[in-house]
Structure 1
């Protein structure tokens, strides 16, 4: 029943209150007994006083025969009778009650005798001392009553004195009895309260000492799996049960933290390996970009040469057309020049075909870069996933992985634009090649026919003008191809810069992964000191 500290303290409080109430009741009883004893002693004193006054006023009337002494005598008798009646109602001791009854009986006899004497004294007044009165019958009766009254006075005084002494002795004994009982009750209650206080305090101290020992064991051994043993089922035991539950939950949390630390270390190692692989591929991409730059520069040089050749061809065709208008005599020379032009056009056509091949190589290089960018994007996505698995410790890696992914997307976008530009260049080169072949065939046919058909000179002039326009168009296309090649070169340089940035980002990821691995190892070492199983 008294399992909790609260219940024990309430029980102790109840005992203290019960003892206090008991002592208060005993004190009140003793006080009432003392008041009762004091009242009885006072009443006994009044009885003695009124008895003395009764005898005094009786003698006074005998000496002075005055009415005042007689009235005082009667009042003293009445007061004495009233006090005897009052005291008789309060007495409990039989011996004292018997004594009081005897006093009342003696007082009644004394009053009867004294009343007869007073009647004689009222009748004879001062003559009661004369010999004649003493010799008479009333005198003899008066003398007899006086002797009897003297005996009764002595007896009454003696009874009152003994009764007063008996009452005082009885009341003193009662007061002493009450005092002893009060002391014994106080000692018993004090002893009981002290014992209960010692017992309850020892129980609480045992429970506290046991809980303290258990907590010290856990603190010294760092054994979170230890179950706290308690005594009883008081508040301290309940508190230790709560602490035990908390330690169990803390042990589970530390186990989870240990596993998380190991997983973080594994993720950091994997992230470091992935970063190294991305760095290697980024270096490969940079090499491919360098080769693409060289190839693109060669294409730009070829296009520039083609532009110059086409412009020169246009100028020559214009000059031939003018000369054909002035003199047909120069047909053979023109035919020779046309042969030269045919050779130039054939050479230009050959160079344009070679340019077409070079552009095809550029497209292959851009395809390789596109594959590298896609792989970089996938690796950045894997790095972001691993960083997300790392939780709070991988937040920095997630940012770096996101930047790598954005750079890869920008690389792919630039490659798409470069492929479009290369496609335009290929289309332009193809068109120019076909046109140059056609122009060469027409110029060759014109040269052969110039030797035999001067009548067709005017038509040849027109054809030369057409060839002029074609040559100018070819120059324009070659110039456009050169411009596009320069643009491709700029974009490839951008790709090279992105690859460099990717390399730096990969280095940062590797450094961050190494730092995460170190933090995970430190965390594992810090948690390993706690015993959780």
Structure 2
């Protein structure tokens, strides 16, 4: 917006002057307004006191016509908008004035007996309490001294005072605007002649040097050694220093351009080598990851194998215990069968003994039968005398026959029992022999189970050792994977850094070339 020093100086001068005059106007108008208001209030107080005194004197006459005339005459005074007297209740009762009501905001004055003052826009409202004096008691017989007989309300216009204040402010504003314009014009002419013209000449001269052919061998022409001449001399010295510095910068820029090109080539080779190195490290990293996967699988298989071997060993241990229990049971059964075979043999012997006894009894029964037969024959021979003996003999014969019959039945049963015992004894003997054979085979199986348990224990220990070694190898491989990952990350970061270095070197070469081109545009050396 404000680009030139001239515009900024004029704007600053205008703002400062305008601010100062505004502040001065505010102070003057404020003080003048206070002064006018104080004078108005003083005049208002004097006027209201005079009017109230006139009304009071007219009231002392006791003539209502005189009072009304005094109020009307006071209302015609310039500036008085309204004058009214509101009677108290005692006056209304005495003179029968019931239609004259008092405003609500003035009613408290009947009790407070104080002055009322209110500003209404450009008007002022004043009210006083009219107190009863000794001279009033002659007419107002229903009140005492000091009682309020009424309230006098006076409204006075302040329009004239406000008009005077506004007119005075306008005059002050016109005066200050004129002074402001005069000050701005005076300062503008002074700045233009003493400062802006000099700056414009200097700007024109520097513009010719800067925007021309960029020849630093040229110098400003100095005609007078005034302020402009001193500044021109300083500018010539500055141009001389720039010329010397630019010559040095040109040489450095040329050398820097060569170095930047070599640095760009080296950075490209470095990025290429790093790319090959990253590929090799990545292949190693992938191989290590594959080894880690296979080792992890081997470790898992080792865990499963160790677990299976432990389960097999536990199962074989349980089987071994069951075999031992079975062998012991078989051995116990074999021993019991041997004892049973011995008892069966004893039963067979007892059965044979029973057969012998039965044979003896059978022989006795046969002889008894024979004897009974002989006794019967002899009894028959004896006749009547042998009849009783014959009966006995007959009974003995019958008993012998029954005995023989029972012995035959017992013999058959005993023979069957003896045959059964013999068969049972034979089977028990075979079973005992089979139990011995099974016990022998079971013992062999137990021995083989012991050997298998030892082999399983050795295999489980080997599997546990293999699992531990696999775990250690997996731990080392994990460490190797971390190292390889770190190497890959470092190589990637190095590559990124190298790419940045290559980019910077390339940009540096471009900037050096641009700088060289820019510097060549300046003529800093004399053609000689």
Q: TM-score, normalised by structure 1?
A: 0.29
Higher strand share: 2
Between structure 1 and structure 2, the one with the greater Rg is 2
Q: TM-score, normalised by structure 2?
A: 0.29
